[in-house]
Amino acid sequence: MKDSITGWYRNVIRNPKYRWWIIAGSLIYLISPIDISPDFIPIVGWIDDGLIATLLVAELSTWALERLKVKGRKAEDAVQTADAAVPGYKSETKTVDVNAVSAE
């Protein structure tokens, strides 16, 4: 059952149409005194909040890293396009080939 709930949560939060609804719902659930297991019960009451908080932070960080990678690729493409547009311009980036050898 855990895999189905976490899988559902990940799929829904990655969908741009529902992302903000899931984030808002998760934050409201964490703040709200109404839980699946009440918070006044030590440890057991905190497990559901910990699970939701962990999923929320993990998925938001994954989403943010993916967005940063996409922005980085777009910036690299823009620089390469600009370099190619200038006649006679030679980029100063150097490529180094490395032959890796496994050590036993």
Tokens 């910036």 belong to which residue? 75
pLDDT tens column, 50-98:
888 988 998 889 888 888 888 888 777 766 665 565 666 566 666 777 7
Q: Read off the tokens for 45.
A: 């009451």
Residues whose CB is less than 8 angstroms from the CB of residue 43 and which lie 6 or more positions away in sequence, other chains included? none
Could you tell me the residue ranges of all domains in the chain?
2-85
Q: Give Cα separations from 89 to 44, 76, 95 (angstroms).
A: 65, 16, 17
Average pLDDT for the chain = 79
**Residue closest to 59 by CA, chosen among 101, 28, 26:** 26
Residue 32 pLDDT > 50: yes
Question: Taking the CA of residue 24 as centre, how many other CA atoms within 13 Å lie in the half-sphere pointing to its CB?
Answer: 4
Of the pLDDT bands very low, low, confident and very high (cuts 50, 70, 90), residue 31 is confident
